[in-house]
Structure 1
Amino acid sequence: MELAEVLRARGLRLTAQRQLVLRAVHELGHATPEQVHTAVREVAAGVNITTIYRTLELLERLGLVTHTHLSHGSPTYHAAGADQHVHLVCRDCGAVDEIDPELLRPLADRLAAERGFQVDIGHVALFGVCGKCERCGDQT
């Protein structure tokens, strides 16, 4: 369903800012609110960071974007959809990679069976050192 349809179904207006924020999230892939703000300001200089945060929260409530925490800072947003993934975050260079969530399925199933805990795989981030940094010996 498109943004306009989702908003109309909830009795909300389609605004240029909402369109720009959603487009920026799609184009950037994984982006903090600050990165979305920078991208949106290239097109609409008057949009402030508060509008970005509020719009991202609304888009998440509408199921159009989702967030995860890839560092100690701001959450990182990406488009919601069937392409759930686990994030691999390099502590050295900050690179973010994605893996198929099915790799964690045995762990998620075990946690559900033994603890009754349902893992939200779309919010999982694993931290470590990427192969490039490991080969360069840049580990701390």
Structure 2
Amino acid sequence: MAREADIRDAYSIERERKAYYDQLEQHQQTLDVTPWLEWLAEAVLTAQQVTLDRVGFFIAKAHFYDQHRDQLNARQAKAIERMFREGPDGFKGGLSAENYISITGTSGATATRDLQDLVEMSALTRVGELRYTRYRLNLEEMTA
């Protein structure tokens, strides 16, 4: 898990490399480095916020498992771990019943029961209706 975070951090820095060089080139023609320093400070603040968000996510994950670890069956634990692997943003659009079936290899009826059980234990929150129902990790309580 730490290796994944290192790779993502390196990606965050790499993603700003072109903008960094563009700013450097733009401002090397003058002795006024104020705009470049402002840009650099903003980039550093953004990187710090990404790091703080990631640390908060890992703390919430630890609290989540402290609260729910003994309540999860093997299928639920597998799906929850897969959701956590997606990081702070989670699955695009949330976890669907179809995703759950694919991850766990279970039937539709069992997936419905498992997901309802996860909602009842406050591990997941449910949004939407019918085929548009999606589930998200309930980390709000963990960070409050």
Please indicate the TM-score interval, normalised by the length of the shorter structure: 0.3 to 0.5
Larger radius of gyration: 2
Structure with the bigger percentage of helix: 2
Normalised to the residue count of structure 2, the TM-score between the two structures is 0.41
Greater percentage in strand: 1
TM-score where L is the length of structure 1: 0.42
